Amino acid sequence: MQSSTVFITLWLLLIVFSVLSPVTEAQPATYRYHVCPNTTTFPINSTYQANRDTLLTSLSSNGSRGNGFYNTTSGRNPDTVYGLFLCRGDLSTSVCQACVTFASTDISQRCPVERAAVVWYDECLLRYSDENIFSAVAEDPATILFNTQNTSDQVRFDSQVQEVMSDTAAQAANAAPGAKKFATREADANFTSSFRTLYTLAQCTPDLPTSDCERCLRYVTGNLQRGSQGGRVLSPSCNVRYETYLFYNLNQTAVASPPPPLVPVSRGNGRRTWPIIVAIVVPIAASILVLLLACWVSKRRAKKYDAVQGGNGYDITTVEALQYDFATIEAATNKFSDSNKLGEGGFGEVYKGILPNQQVIAVKRLSRGSGQGDEEFKNEAVLVAKLQHRNLVRLLGFCLEREEKILVYEYVPNKSLDYFVFDPTKQGQLDWSRRYKIIGGIARGILYLHEDSRLRIIHRDLKASNILLDEDMNPKISDFGMARIFGVDQTQGTTRRVVGTYGYMSPEYAMQGQFSVKSDVYSFGVLVLEIISDQRNSNFYETEGAQDLISYAWKLWKDGRSQELLNPVLRDNYSRNEVIRCIQLGLLCVQEDPADRPTMATIVLLLNSYSVTLPVPKQPAFVLQSRTDGRMPDKGLESDQSTSQSMPWSINEVSITELHPR
């Protein structure tokens, strides 16, 4: 009898520990490694710490997102914190949420005062930094883990690992736009009897362009331990793993844990087992109460943040974190002095400013006749502030005070692209290698707007003067005042108020008011031809019978003289293949039929891969006789009308327009 009671007691205690350990220990993630360099730290109770804690709370509350990835910011410069998480692509949202929630707490304990940190688990990674980490590949710091058991035939095994991993990486990097950059693959290992199958996994953060994802995966794959039966390399932007056993879910859905076994109860021993049952039930009930209390506190804390949401319900950021007071802006611009003025557009003036922390900014002071409501202005400013990409000008905040509507942007020092390509005295400052880099950067920025940002955004006013250049001549797309937001199921919109710049407008937009992602593709094609030739499409002097730059490029292409489009200033040092490929790509972008134009995802791929053959372009738009009358539709009759009602939200045309922060 006594041995039976001891057996039951041990059995019940085992069940109690299995049930309670996840609750009391709160460790739903398998820790692997972390890095938090102590070269830069922040003081305790500083603004940066408060922003970091807010960021971690935001990451934790978004852990159940369907694609297993989320990035956001908290605070203003110089205390802005950038953060993201990435869950393994085969795991369920509940497993992802559990890992992110745990990591959000764990990382602040492992890295209590560091301004940058990354932590890896089997289920997810979480990262934050005081520098912009969005859409920027980070191969280091990389962590190498491996199985201590070696293979019998190391040469053949390593060769197979590299081959299969290369295929897996290519599949992950070339995932469909908007999908997870995640792939797994199995391969037969027929040359050994110790195991039959090799399993591989590769993953990148989905905000990376295809080329950067490929580069990152090549780097980490090259650092895999040789000869081991299993291994992985973890970096902030990507990771790879291989094993000789199945370590991921084949159906890409986490397998639910089996229910705990029933507790055996002896009817003849009720008095002795009753205390044990009480010992089980009371801790479980207490744990449930603690969890409910934690959820209630979390909801209460979330309500303290005045979050503005876009039309799709995504959490954007807090209004307070973006708002500047008028006195600060006035002092920064020396009371909007003419000596600080950088330029002006149809809806306001742009000034250079210096904040008290010595940060240089560009201030857009909207005219008072813009007609935009306060709430609409705030919503729009917060939305644009969430566009985080290295090839987009970043909105730092806004001011809404004293009937003033002001937008604060990062300062971009090297002015705009038109300042260089259309000025004969400055064209030589941009050699071909820089121009090719600028073309690629613009393409990646547009791709982000079309497919990789939280909302599909059509810019509608891409032109040389809206491409700003930073200190390293990296391009940054600016001026989202004419942009439109599309829903995921929306492909086209129409307007009877055509806005934009003639010469960059697609024919279907200029003539019928129809716009789509292919409208931006057309503008990009014109921009590419201008960057190559240093000539404006809208101010082209008739050459060889051609009326505009597009028709001239087409004529040269037909005659087999494409390279003659290149500005003679650049012909001493350039890549002929790159120039001809860019001209062909530019002509493909300005095709008459939008369906014949490539998507931005295809364009980025073609710019980064010479193994893909480009289609032969047809006669481009505005060359055919049906398009040469130059007629434009009536303007200003009414506001934009969308062909889909799934996304009624849109950016107002008069709010953020013709901004040139330089």
Which residues are catalytically annotated?
461
Kind of pairing, strands 348-354 and 360-366?
antiparallel
Closest residue by Cα to residue 102 from 82, 119, 84, 80: 119
Are residues 324 and 408 in contact, defined by beta-carbon separation less than 8 angstroms? yes
| CB-neighbour burial class of residue 306 (10 A; exposed 0-12, middle 13-18, buried 19+) | exposed
Helix (H, G, I), strand (E, B) or coil at 168: helix
Amino acid at 378: K
Residue 118's DSSP bridge partners are: 35, 127
CA distance 98 to 105: 11
132/207 Cα distance (integer angstroms):
13
Sign for the pseudo-dihedral over CA of 480, 128, 253, 209: positive
Block residue for tokens 């494409």: 562
Residue 249 identity: N
CB 384 within 8 A of CB 366: no
613-616's contacts with Cβ under 8 Å and 24+ in sequence apart are 614/581, 614/584, 614/585, 614/588, 615/588
Query: Do the beta carbons of residue 60 and residue 101 sit within 8 Å?
Result: yes
| Tokens describing residue 446 | 């547009």
d(CA 137, CA 448): 15
337 Rama sector, left if φ>0, alpha if ψ -120 to 50, beta otherwise: beta
Closest CA to 383 of 20, 29, 656: 656
Mapped onto helix, strand or coil, the DSSP state of residue 313 is: coil
- Torsion of the alpha carbons at 76, 330, 476 and 425, rounded to the nearest 10: -150
Exposed/middle/buried for residue 38 (C-beta within 10 Å: 0-12, 13-18, 19+): exposed
The H-or-E segment that residue 20 falls in is helix 2-25
Sign of CA dihedral 225, 227, 231, 232: positive
- Three-state SS at 470: coil
Query: Where is 220: in which H helix or E strand?
Result: helix 210-222
Report the alpha-carbon distance of residue 98 to residue 139 in Å, rounded.
26
Written as six digits, the tokens of 625 are: 């006789």
H/E stretch holding 529: helix 517-533
3-state class percentages of the chain: helix first, strand second, coil last, to nearest 5: 40, 20, 40
Between strands 307-309 and 641-642, the pairing is unpaired
Query: What is the distance between the alpha carbons of residues 477 and 463, in angstroms, rounded to a whole number?
Result: 9
SS3 call for 385: helix
- What's the one-letter identity of residue 257? S
In terms of Cβ atoms closer than 10 Å to its own Cβ (0-12, 13-18, 19+), residue 182 is buried
**Nearest in space to 485 (alpha carbons), one of 375, 350, 626, 384:** 384
